[in-house]
Structure 1
């Protein structure tokens, strides 16, 4: 039976970082999370996890836990050895770390802000990380090694030729806050790159840390759970939420304020998370930011969505028989969705999807925006008729 102390003590991040266990740890990516119920410092290796899922109700210490993870990694690694990709849909949680742009952060070449807050940029960044992962695997294949650790040891021992494209590979830690909000706005297209990274990226030094407030089954799907064996649960509101995140009850009985359970496969450990305050994080980031850094942030490979290519593939000369009727229905309802066309004309999903693509290519509806309905660009029948006329003229000219 575990009984909380009458006078709880704050577990400071300072005491954890000063502990001998953290100072002397030989882990590749050592994370100091806090103290166990027997008052021992708890240190774990992110490379052995290899990805981490964090869940907990609002105000129970999730953001402080993320700050503790980032701080302990900053204390252990040189900027050449580690880069962060920070995704923050809330726009205020991780902005403190923007001062580390030229030291520890990675971003897309065309991105101005080092902390990613825009939904489309999140999708592009995750797909860019997939490209980075594939290129790293190619380098490992050329070097005839199996992991990033073996590769970097071989490179520092001068056994790999930089003229053949070889270079030192830093670890990349991707931290995604408010994952549930991202799924709501970006739809399921964000899940496939995360799935690829979770399945394959461990050996090339790319690790994911995902945090969410709502540990429901439609957010934490079976695919995500299968690839995230290490999970942290702060206090949650119900036993069902605890079962979703940990596969066992218990997180609903925690006392809050940083009290957490960590599951790394079989065993479940209760920890009081280390407390790191905003002024402390500011002092750490100021200290690192004032030192000499690189010219820019670590640049990820370029990635651009393939929406423009999709438009070019559609031949408006071979329009569907229902194209004009569907366009009138969409303009009349001012709603551009595949399901609307399916219902109105009693046709299958594939045909309705092709009609929507043709309407987009003709400039009648806007591009795909995740879970939102497409914007209708034409407001009246006169403008619509003009589009029909121009399309028919173009078709007759092509046939001549």
Structure 2
């Protein structure tokens, strides 16, 4: 099976330009940005998009932005913070007409933002308007099947905005600074994004809108049905051609490079590692090699007098010597130093395979779940009933696989329980992570998308915990787990999953203190009562992951983060900044950080688990997928 990758911008060019498509198929890399014709004022769309992106990021994160209601105030903040310097650069380059045009387009953008705020019911913050500034859809897989076989093509891109809409629920917006010759062609990119989001966020539906800033705003609303028709007519045939197979296109989102073709084993790099270190007068021996789904781990034995830090400091030199895309992660281990070399094409770790693993299937706890597959190729299991793993702190930047990890965690808990033995509260301010669970019978209440509803949810959990303690005391049980083992299962385990709790922390000091207090109370006493917290954030800095929060969440999971400081905040050690993303993680279960690849659960599997259950969920759900 052949596999190819393409960006949304490239796919759009391929759909509109047969010559561009032929160049791409020949292995060339034709440009996607067209030159401005002579005599036409350049519109600087990239500059407009960048300023708009930064501004929306500020609106959704700054407390002061909540007070902005009118166009003039919004424009003042945008100009002072983001636009002034860029417009001045255009003026200095004597591009006066372009600078004026961009500024007028940005003013229209601020006017539009004020309108969006007014149309948003129960407005608390700009996060109620913009779910994300540039929502990333990465490696969405399309399988092309025909009599000749099956090929796949992975599509990635950045959406201008995903916003709330009072009538349609969610809205994809695509910004343009000029009209094309054909409206259907202008809608093409929007149609591609709608299809990608449908696959990436199963269970959610998206209305589309094309926003022309010329510089006055002109809107073109597009229904879901119209977007589907454009995709089927203009994009689907081109996907078949690009994949090298004319047949039927089916969508299936892959995590990272999972589910790709079988490849030959990667070359043994032991000799090159030795030579690299030897060139710096560092004598080492390669004593073992382990192959994990996403990497190959070489175990290095340093000679007497060779310091571990000296080996770690040569990570960038190894990157050059081994022709790697990024430096390898080098860490001390028992009796050796490990050098983790990323695979050229990582292997898929599928949720359906992991939950059928013999060790995991035999685990007796109803609240155990697979963290992923470790470097030793064994399933790494965590158990909420264990005091070292009763609550979880998760950190990971955009593209790290954090949302996919949360989905697999929740799916694993559901697959081990019936609705009367497990209840879930899912707090999802961005609406996108848990859209598939809207009708899930395991939910204690509908998915919580209002950030200010999170505190009442936690307060109710504290009251529930106190009530459970009273009942356990009367019945003579030390914990809900022991009560379960005794055959009494009328009190369900209760797991609260909060995706992006930073939104609440940044709301204000009062909310932050209340959240910390409730978190500390639930973490201190929740395990015995069968109540467990899962807190996740894209921004694991000291303002978000406070000492109180960190100290009370024993199980730490760090996916790829931006800086080594983020890694230290989650794990008390560096390394998270060197992870590969897409599910590659470090997990501390109370005995030091362990590396693993988290399982990927597909859209269909997730819908099956979230929407169906039986007396034997594990057997039925896994076999039916």
TM value normalised by structure 1: 0.65
- Confirm whether residue 149 of structure 1 aligns to residue 474 of structure 2: no
Matches within 5 A, 1:1-400: 1-48=339-386, 49-100=389-440, 103-107=441-445, 114-154=446-486, 156=488, 168-185=490-507, 187-188=511-512, 189-288=514-613
Post-superposition offset of 1:154: 4.8
Higher share of residues assigned helix? 1
Distance 1:254 1:46 in 2: 25
Post-superposition offset of 1:95: 2.0
Post-superposition offset of 1:119: 2.6
Q: Is the 8 A contact 1:53 1:232 kept in 2?
A: yes
Q: Is the 8 A contact 1:140 1:146 kept in 2?
A: yes
Distance 2:515 2:603 in 1: 30
Distance 1:195 1:62 in 2: 23
RMSD: 1.8
Higher relative contact order (CA 8 A, sep 6+): 1
Deviates more, 1:127-136 or 1:12-21: 12-21
Distance 1:282 1:155 in 2: 31
Distance 1:281 1:60 in 2: 19
Q: Is the 8 A contact 1:37 1:270 kept in 2?
A: yes
Post-superposition offset of 1:198: 1.0
Q: Secondary structure at 1:129's aligned position in 2?
A: helix
Mark the CA change 1:94 to 1:287 in structure 2 (over 3 Å): closer, same or farther. same
Deviations 1:17-45 (A, max 9, x none): 12112211122311012211121122221
Deviations 1:30-78 (A, max 9, x none): 1012211121122221221100011011111000000110111111112
Q: Secondary structure at 2:506's aligned position in 1?
A: helix
Deviates more, 1:170-179 or 1:12-21: 12-21
Q: Secondary structure at 2:597's aligned position in 1?
A: strand
Post-superposition offset of 1:153: 4.5
Q: Secondary structure at 2:373's aligned position in 1?
A: strand
Q: Secondary structure at 1:132's aligned position in 2?
A: helix
Post-superposition offset of 1:155: 6.4
Mark the CA change 1:220 to 1:195 in structure 2 (over 3 Å): closer, same or farther. same
Deviations 1:289-337 (A, max 9, x none): 9x9xxxxxxxxxxxxxxxxxxxxxxxxxxxxxxxxxxxxxxxxxxxxxx
Q: Secondary structure at 1:195's aligned position in 2?
A: helix
Deviations 1:156-214 (A, max 9, x none): 3xxxxxxxxxx821100000001101212363122221221111111000000000000
Unpaired runs of 5+ in structure 1? 108-113, 157-166, 292-400
Distance 1:30 1:214 in 2: 27
Distance 2:517 2:477 in 1: 27
Q: Is the 8 A contact 1:155 1:168 kept in 2?
A: no
Aligned residues: 272
Unpaired runs of 5+ in structure 2? 1-338, 617-625
Mark the CA change 1:257 to 1:150 in structure 2 (over 3 Å): closer, same or farther. closer
TM value normalised by structure 2: 0.42
Q: Is the 8 A contact 2:385 2:481 kept in 1?
A: no
Deviates more, 1:230-239 or 1:188-197: 188-197
Q: Secondary structure at 2:613's aligned position in 1?
A: helix
